[in-house]
Amino acid sequence: MAKALWGNIYYNEIFAGRLEEQPSGRCVFTYDQSYLDGNQPAIAYTLPLGSQKYISERGLHPFFDNLIAEGWFRNAQARALGIDPKNKFALLLGFGYDLAGAVSVIDPEPVQHYDLDHSDEATLAALRGRASLSGVQRKLLMVKEGKGYRPVKANELSTHIAKLASGNLNQLLELEYLTTSVVRAFLPADDIVEMELTTLDSINENGLIIPRFDRTSTGKRLYHFEEFNQLLGHDSGDDKYEGDYAEMGQFILNTNNCIPAEAYRLFLRILVCLLVGNTDAHFKNFAMFHTREGLRLTPAYDLVASAIYPEYQSIALRVCGIRNLQLGKLEPKHIIKMADSFGINQHMIINAVEMLKKHLPNALAALEEANVGSLELRETLQRIIEKRWNGSFELIGRRLLKKQS
């Protein structure tokens, strides 16, 4: 952690500017003139290139704020640095080398010795690297080595994410694996993250291993991306639940160099999330790459049929302006109205429903054939999908066709 609260910002290893926390608590980011002169891209959608100072009166700018670790990971980092977990700026300086996307935050006067927590191997492994990853679930950043995986070391870029069992949510890793397999079957033309369940010998735990889509297999920074929480200017924490799915559709439709096809692709992902019971699909669970052609969706990730758990029955974001809509109360009219905010007409909605109907047998077969999780878990997920399909989803096409006749 720096003695002076400022850090150097790099984009793909190129010095981009300086981030400073002032005594008042406000944060200031300024692009370096050499970066501006070098015809480099902006580091964030909400931080376009320019010589002006970007001032955030309430602490870290949302782009940087969403790079901070959360939950278990953040608390462990704070203990290692001997600081309050609410000191986000210091956390970013201490663990900002390996972040999501192409940006890194480098401490000009780093602490050389951390107070490593030896309470368990997973925590110790998490603190050995100078890395952060958002999300409250226990997870580690890993490097593929031979046929196995090991935790990332200091000043090393990770190639994979390992999710670990967390809290009281039984079979969470198995559920994410199954949900992702089902979503892939429903959307075979889309890009869905790959994953595998394996034993991590280095920490003596099972883990769900996911290749990082922003890194090469050799650990090079490949793509820059931002979550919608960053693109929409939301802070981390519970702000990821403050909004409507329609905001993402409108963002794509109204942003230069985005294309309507991406809005349709995102709508299909949300539709399938609702179908499989992924009620915790918030703004941090959707993201877009920065490409030369413009913003494009990343592979779909964090797909968990959380409705299996009794405490996750309400939908994460507002649907047609309705906050905390219960999944069981979702009706065709909600989906039809939401589609309009994504620029999707009734004919396209009918085609989407017909496509999902076509792939429904494959999705259910993927569950039956999976040798992951308990039989009860797989059967429960199957019942959720069939209930949703026989309720809201099958009625969508009928309702629209009736209106057209």
Residue 395: per-residue pLDDT: 87
Q: Provide the token pair at 65.
A: 């704020």
Q: Given a cut of 80, is residue 130 above it in pLDDT?
A: no
**CA 320 to each of CA 246, 330, 336, 383: distance values in angstroms, whole numbers, following the listed order:** 7, 11, 10, 26
Task: Name the pLDDT band for 222 (thresholds 50, 70, 90).
Answer: confident
As a whole number of angstroms, the distance between CA 128 and CA 211 comes to 20
Task: Name the pLDDT band for 128 (thresholds 50, 70, 90).
Answer: low
Q: Tokens 């200031």 map to which residue?
A: 28
The CATH code that applies to domain 225-402 is 1.10.1070.20
Q: Which long-range contacts (CB under 8 A, 24 or more apart) does 189-198 make?
A: 190/265, 190/268, 190/269, 190/300, 191/297, 191/298, 191/299, 191/300, 192/299, 192/300, 192/303, 193/299, 193/300, 193/301, 197/173, 197/372, 198/148, 198/149
State the helix-helix crossing angle for 260-276 and 172-186, rounded to 10 degrees: 130
For residues 157-177, average pLDDT: 93
**CA 402 to each of CA 46, 293, 337, 345, 357: distance values in angstroms, whole numbers, following the listed order:** 44, 40, 16, 15, 18
Residue 2: per-residue pLDDT: 47
Residue 34: per-residue pLDDT: 98
As a whole number of angstroms, the distance between CA 155 and CA 162 comes to 18
Q: Provide the token pair at 242.
A: 């403050």
Cβ contacts of 375 within 8 Å, gap of 6 or more: none
Q: Given a cut of 70, is residue 139 above it in pLDDT?
A: yes
Alpha helices of 58-132 — where are they, by DSSP H?
62-65, 71-81, 88-94, 121-128
Residue 196: per-residue pLDDT: 96
Q: Tell me which of 403 and 321 has the higher pLDDT.
A: 321
Q: Given a cut of 90, is residue 187 above it in pLDDT?
A: yes
Q: Given a cut of 80, is residue 80 above it in pLDDT?
A: yes
For residues 334-342, average pLDDT: 96
Give, rounded to a whole angstrom, the gap between the first and last alpha carbons of the chain: 67
For residues 180-189, average pLDDT: 98
Task: Name the pLDDT band for 405 (thresholds 50, 70, 90).
Answer: low
Provide the residue ranges of all domains of the chain, joining segments of one domain with +: 225-402
| DSSP per position, 37-67 | HTTPPPSBTTB-S-SSEEEETTSS-HHHHTT
For residues 93-122, average pLDDT: 79
State the helix-helix crossing angle for 332-341 and 346-369, rounded to 10 degrees: 120
Dihedral (Cα; 367, 370, 376, 381), 10-degree rounding: -30
Q: Given a cut of 50, is residue 213 above it in pLDDT?
A: yes
Mean pLDDT is lowest, of 112-126, 131-145, 195-209, 353-367, for 112-126
Average pLDDT in the chain = 92
Mean pLDDT is lowest, of 15-19, 135-139, 150-154, 286-290, for 135-139
CA count, 13 A, side-chain hemisphere, 306: 19
Q: Given a cut of 80, is residue 300 above it in pLDDT?
A: yes
